[in-house]
Structure 1
Amino acid sequence: MTSPSRGMAFRSASSSPMPTTSAVDSSPSTASSLSPTPPASTANSDYFLRLSAKFVHFDPVTKGTSVFFDDIQCQIFVVRDNGSAGVRVHSPIASRNFEFAIENKGTILSIKFSPDFRVLAVQRSNKSVEFLNFSENRQIDLVEYSQVCRARSAKILGFCWVSASEIVLITDTQGLESYAIRPEKKSLRSLKNYSVSVNWFLYMPPYLLLSSGPACNILHVFLLRNPGNYQRFNKFEIDIGAQHAVQNHMQPNKLLERDVVLAPVYGLLYVLVIKQVSKLNAGAEVVMYQVKNDGSVRITDILLLECNGRFAVNVLDNLIVVHHQQSKMSKIFDLKLNTRGDSVKYHFPVSSYSIEPYHIKLNIVSIPYELYSSNWAVFLPSIIVDAKLGCLWQLELKTDSLACLIADRVKRIEFLLLRDHDAKSVLIKHLAAYLHNPPDFPACVKSFELLNQKLKQFSTTKPGDEVQRRSVHLEQVEVFRFLLLPLSASLELPHRNIVAVLVEYLRSLLAVGMEPQYYVQELIVNTMVQFKMFHLLRHCVENGVFCDSKPFACLLLSLENMFPPAVQMVLDMLKRLGSSVEEQVEILLAKNEIFAAMRLLQAAGVVQHEAYLTPRKFLEPALTSGDRMLFYSVFRYFQMRNNRLRGSSKFLSEELCDDIVFQFETMFPEDVADRRDVVF
């Protein structure tokens, strides 16, 4: 298989064409009958990786058919007779599948579309690259235009699209040549070039890695920005050892392209180098060089493979998967699980298991597929291509099974919180198991801390931080719906354990500075009331476990019949909130505490603004209380207020007190309207 964007393979030359084979018939009838069948052990937890059930099938490599893969656009190009018999484009993305034909002008070495699929770049020699334009409805313009490399002696090793209007040619002696492409004029304009000798290159947008030096171990990293705004990082050298034996002769080592991977992990750029001899054990190792934004490069991590042989690398959900052909095993590494502060961290695999067995249905017969085949070409991030069979799969992670490998339950939650948001259901499943297991309360406490720290980070994440945005987190409503609510209804757990877990979640929210939602506090209060833990409720309210708020105060007020001290708790909370005196007065009036309401008004100095008081609000509860002396005192107070404000004891018509005045005159007929002594 020929690849314009090189991948790793279990072969000595990953960029050379796949060998021609007749093992799989490429006829249309055979191609249409090729389909996957469910793996024999789908439910087996011994497997943590699997090939996707849906795959892309294409015509395999034959004598007249070449296959190319562009891992940037994730497109397979099946080229028949150098394009004259048709070029068929396959992709997991249905909108990128189509077919066209071009003139046969020689053997095609590389072929790629621009990011907007409007220009096709075709390399047929090591001296130039040809271009063909496509319309919006994917009609091809067969009039080609080309670009040759600047130096006659230079050879084009490959090219990469920086944007829809910019392309970079990589040559062996001149290095990097950047061009702006103008499809409407069918021409290119030189933008920039960097002179450096190149042995091979890797491209992971927007980063380009060039290899130079006699041993191919001097690496140059470029950050390609559009248009022509490039940043060149400091070059660095890879230690590959002095020499090795070949047929009883010592030859210098060389760093091969197949042993190097350029990949982002947890939002940081790394250069991964596979070294067959480890200084710590008999196995090989993957040395990880971190490339920082300031251009500095240093070794930060080493993955211990514990075996030797041929390897290929995928990066799946920020997990590094190293496939080993001889043992047919895949080793999974997570850089975040090692929290030691060492300058260079050593990592052992989280798991070392084979990919789940896979079966293919061929002409109604289900046959097992050979995993870790020498025909595999492995591309980042999670693509596996078998050009001999004509299949492209995506490698999938069985997150639930892998998480169960981690015995430390807190570490397990930490591991799941680092995964993609698709792992949310798995995280909820494991958290629910902790909550319903009383001995796991310490793990539950720590898990809530991790959960809410992640929620806090997500709430403050910048829009451009896609790594943080895509990682799993649980909103308060999700914790309430899937964890806390089922827990509160549990009939198996002791009441004390249920309440302890609920309160602990509330405490962890406050510890990270997150405001608990009302429905979370309401559930905790209702659960305490259900279990008649009123004294615990009072203790939590008075010590700030619950967040003071007016809705929460109303919730407490509704408990008055079951827990009379709740009224005073509400008044204290409203005072802490700095609420208006009128709201506190309303509560007292609802309880017919008229004198207490009046005293509260006097203490707050509201009586000085008594013109704004509503008489009926006080007179009506005093009348309905049945206490004649109380009604008399309050009525006389407002008559005096009227005299002070208006020089008359009468109420205004808009105060709507006529019926209350009638009741007063009926109850106290001997009393004169202008009497000034008041019992209060």
Structure 2
Amino acid sequence: MLYSWYIERCTLNSTNALPEKNILRLNSCLPLNTCWFLWNPETHICITSDPEKKLHMFQLKTPGTITKGPKFLSPTSVGANGDTTSIEQKHCFLTLLYDDLYFCTIRYVKLYNEQNLTRTISFYTLKIEGPIALAHLVILDYQGPVSFSVLDNLFMVHYQSRKVTSVFDIALNGTVHNVIHHTPILRDISIAPFNLFSKIIPSLSANLDAQIPIDLYSANWIIHLCGVVIDNSLGCSWLLCVNNMVFPKIVANHNLVVDFLLHRSSGKSVLLEYCSKLVVDSIEEVTANVDKPVNYKFDGYGLNQRLDQFAFVFKRICEVSYCGTNVTSKLLSDSDRKAPSASAPSCHCSTVKTISKGLYAGSLTFYIISQSEIYSHLFLKNQGVERLEVRKLFRSILIEYIRIFSEHDICVDHCFYEMLVNLTVRMGDYTQLSFYIQSRLLADSKATALQLLSLESIYPAAGQLGIDMLKRLNTCNSELFDALLIKGRPLEALRFARLHRSENIIDMENVRNYLDAIQEIEDYMELYCNHHFLKENSMCMESYWNSDECRKYCTEHFSDLFPST
């Protein structure tokens, strides 16, 4: 069964067709005086205008059902003599931007208390349930005939007389005057020139292999809102598309480039490449301005400006993660967020939906940039440079990365902590490494603690820092027991095991490690107490205690020390 709706001058009708019977049946009929109407197929929304200059909204989605929405007064435009005039159908259209439907109209208004009239496009949000309000005002630069197209949530205004295009993005910040006023993020740009093979249209040239350049913004062009261009004279059509790779080359504003690419559905690879180039440029700037690496200090204005650029990128990536990820993370409001318990790990993966001014919360074109992608494109790709100043540059970028992700309650992957520790050790800045741990810039984790233990040979204090971190974690007791034994502190290891006897820290391998270390103990009373504790809490390994290996390493040694027992 086929359902359809059609609009007459006095009614809005819902019908269903029975093809096998060649019957068109009327389901419902709504009395409605209609002068003109607009239709959006994606949302099934219809806007009609009546003789009283009122606009009515209907949703024609459910078969056989007409859903009424709110009605509102038709916007007006200011004439040259100051009179207000009603808008016409040719000045109105419906468009979908960031999954929000807008009623748009071209009209003249007075802005900022100016006497002159400004040509604008007003965007009214349309919701089937809720008020209709003016949300955005796009300010046009020129007069004359214009055409519009929407590509990847970008609103484009084509001035065919001037043969230029202005690009607007309503997701980016504008000037707020009750509504958001937008100026072009790109103005006076042109559609890229292209050629047409004459064999497609033989009348263009006698040489069928010739490529004929096409006259851009031709008077014969009809540009549709969906980005389709039809040339009436040639009988051809084209589809406009956005080349995101060009944007970073023609826009110098770093923040604008990042925000723009984050809102494009295909901007992920371009943004990662842009960030990778930012790292390369930073390395070149550092090495070009340093004569003596030993005296290098990361305090130049240009380099601090570079750090601000990286900080902005990391901040935006975190905010996009808040918008796009809510599956594996728990959404908490600021009022519901609880302080972590003492036993909880120091890395929290809760997500709070906090949207920055520069990001549009309604956008569903957000993509998530994983931390592994950041690691490979920003850090790993450029790790071959061994100069001291470059290492300090990477360390400063890493600190910004960890700081911003921690501020947004996003767990930082261990690879970043590992790189920060390695860079600091390679620079010999051990005091700074201790500061990172004490200030909790380096989050407590098993992997970081084991990395610190492995550095004890070149930085003796790192071993104790690793042990302290394992103690704070309170979830790696077996590893802590082994670490104490390896450091030649068996009594401390056994005391720790006695405090955590319910966790069965001691297993077969630990017992053997203990037996190797017990030979060095000279405190006989401690040895006596801990030996009995170990034997009593390892009854499951009774066969091992009776073995020749145990008798060789421990039992005979214990009997020699305490023959009466």
TM-score (norm 1): 0.65
Q: CA deviation at 1:369?
A: 1.1
Summarize the alignment of residues 88-237 of structure 1 with structure 2, pairs less than 5 Å apart: 165-174=2-11, 176-183=12-19, 185-204=21-40, 205-214=42-51, 217-237=53-73
Query: Which one-letter code corresponds to 1:384 in the other structure?
Result: V
Counterpart contact for 1:283–1:308, Cα < 8 Å: no
Counterpart contact for 1:417–1:427, Cα < 8 Å: yes
Counterpart of 1:451 in 2: which secondary structure?
helix
Counterpart contact for 2:76–2:107, Cα < 8 Å: yes
1:307 alignment partner in structure 2 = 142
1:484 alignment partner in structure 2 = 379
Residue 290 to residue 184, structure 1, CA distance change in 2 (3 Å): same
Distance (whole Å) between structure 2 residues aligned to residue 645 and residue 568 of structure 1: 28
Match of 1:331 among 166, 174, 196: 166
Distance (whole Å) between structure 2 residues aligned to residue 328 and residue 389 of structure 1: 19
Counterpart contact for 1:270–1:289, Cα < 8 Å: yes
Q: How many residues were matched structurally? A: 495
Write out per-residue CA displacement over residues 209-251 of structure 1, whole angstroms, 9 at most, x where no aligned residue.
Answer: 3343449x53222222223344322222334458799xxxxx9
Residue 537 to residue 231, structure 1, CA distance change in 2 (3 Å): farther
Distance (whole Å) between structure 1 residues aligned to residue 13 and residue 491 of structure 2: 89
Residue 218 to residue 391, structure 1, CA distance change in 2 (3 Å): farther
Distance (whole Å) between structure 2 residues aligned to residue 645 and residue 423 of structure 1: 60
Distance (whole Å) between structure 2 residues aligned to residue 252 and residue 613 of structure 1: 87
Distance (whole Å) between structure 2 residues aligned to residue 504 and residue 555 of structure 1: 22
Distance (whole Å) between structure 1 residues aligned to residue 369 and residue 537 of structure 2: 59
Is residue 2:162 matched to residue 1:272?
no
Distance (whole Å) between structure 2 residues aligned to residue 241 and residue 616 of structure 1: 85
Match of 2:177 among 335, 339, 342: 342
Match of 2:318 among 432, 443, 452: 452
Counterpart contact for 1:282–1:306, Cα < 8 Å: no
1:566 alignment partner in structure 2 = 462
Q: CA deviation at 1:660?
A: 3.4
2:551 alignment partner in structure 1 = 661
Distance (whole Å) between structure 2 residues aligned to residue 260 and residue 610 of structure 1: 72
Write out per-residue CA displacement over residues 534-564 of structure 1, whole angstroms, 9 at most, x where no aligned residue.
Answer: 3222222222223322233223322222222
Is residue 2:89 matched to residue 1:257?
yes
RMSD: 3.6
Summarize the alignment of residues 186-585 of structure 1 with structure 2, pairs less than 5 Å apart: 186-204=22-40, 205-214=42-51, 217-241=53-77, 255-275=87-107, 281=116, 284-350=119-185, 351-362=187-198, 363-420=208-265, 422-435=266-279, 436-437=281-282, 438=303, 439-460=305-326, 468-491=363-386, 493-579=389-475, 581-585=477-481
Residue 340 to residue 471, structure 1, CA distance change in 2 (3 Å): same
Q: CA deviation at 1:391?
A: 2.1
Write out per-residue CA displacement over residues 6-63 of structure 1, whole angstroms, 9 at most, x where no aligned residue.
Answer: xxxxxxxxxxxxxxxxxxxxxxxxxxxxxxxxxxxxxxxxxxxxxxxxxxxxxxxxxx
Counterpart contact for 2:78–2:107, Cα < 8 Å: no
Q: CA deviation at 1:449?
A: 0.8
The structure richer in strand per residue is: 1
Distance (whole Å) between structure 1 residues aligned to residue 458 and residue 7 of structure 2: 80
Query: Which one-letter code corresponds to 2:228 in the other structure?
Result: I
Residue 645 to residue 382, structure 1, CA distance change in 2 (3 Å): closer
Residue 591 to residue 315, structure 1, CA distance change in 2 (3 Å): same
Counterpart contact for 2:158–2:164, Cα < 8 Å: yes
Counterpart contact for 1:209–1:219, Cα < 8 Å: no
- Structure 2 regions of 5+ residues with no counterpart? 199-207, 283-302, 329-359
Q: CA deviation at 1:585?
A: 1.4
1:627 alignment partner in structure 2 = 520
Write out per-residue CA displacement over residues 63-85 of structure 1, whole angstroms, 9 at most, x where no aligned residue.
Answer: xxxxxxxxxxxxxxxxxxxxxxx
Q: CA deviation at 1:478?
A: 0.9
Counterpart of 1:288 in 2: which secondary structure?
strand
Distance (whole Å) between structure 1 residues aligned to residue 6 and residue 153 of structure 2: 30
Counterpart contact for 1:167–1:179, Cα < 8 Å: yes
Residue 469 to residue 335, structure 1, CA distance change in 2 (3 Å): closer
1:589 alignment partner in structure 2 = 485
Counterpart contact for 1:199–1:210, Cα < 8 Å: no
Indicate the percent of aligned positions where both proteins have the same amino acid: 24
Residue 664 to residue 207, structure 1, CA distance change in 2 (3 Å): closer
Counterpart contact for 2:122–2:134, Cα < 8 Å: yes
Q: CA deviation at 1:322?
A: 0.9
Query: Which one-letter code corresponds to 2:90 in the other structure?
Result: R
Q: CA deviation at 1:332?
A: 0.9
Q: CA deviation at 1:480?
A: 0.9
Write out per-residue CA displacement over residues 507-554 of structure 1, whole angstroms, 9 at most, x where no aligned residue.
Answer: 111111111122232232222233333322222222222332223322
2:510 alignment partner in structure 1 = 617
Distance (whole Å) between structure 1 residues aligned to residue 535 and residue 379 of structure 2: 59
Distance (whole Å) between structure 1 residues aligned to residue 432 and residue 163 of structure 2: 58
Distance (whole Å) between structure 1 residues aligned to residue 33 and residue 521 of structure 2: 105
Counterpart contact for 2:276–2:378, Cα < 8 Å: yes
Counterpart of 1:659 in 2: which secondary structure?
helix
Write out per-residue CA displacement over residues 91-129 of structure 1, whole angstroms, 9 at most, x where no aligned residue.
Answer: xxxxxxxxxxxxxxxxxxxxxxxxxxxxxxxxxxxxxxx
Write out per-residue CA displacement over residues 563-607 of structure 1, whole angstroms, 9 at most, x where no aligned residue.
Answer: 2222222222222222254432121112221122123234x263x
Counterpart contact for 2:14–2:64, Cα < 8 Å: yes
Larger RCO, structures 1/2 (Cα 8 Å, 6+ apart): 1
Distance (whole Å) between structure 1 residues aligned to residue 503 and residue 110 of structure 2: 87
Distance (whole Å) between structure 1 residues aligned to residue 143 and residue 464 of structure 2: 74
Distance (whole Å) between structure 1 residues aligned to residue 98 and residue 140 of structure 2: 21
Q: CA deviation at 1:309?
A: 1.4
- Structure 1 regions of 5+ residues with no counterpart? 1-163, 246-250
Query: Which one-letter code corresponds to 1:539 in the other structure?
Result: F
Larger Rg: 1
Distance (whole Å) between structure 2 residues aligned to residue 233 and residue 616 of structure 1: 73
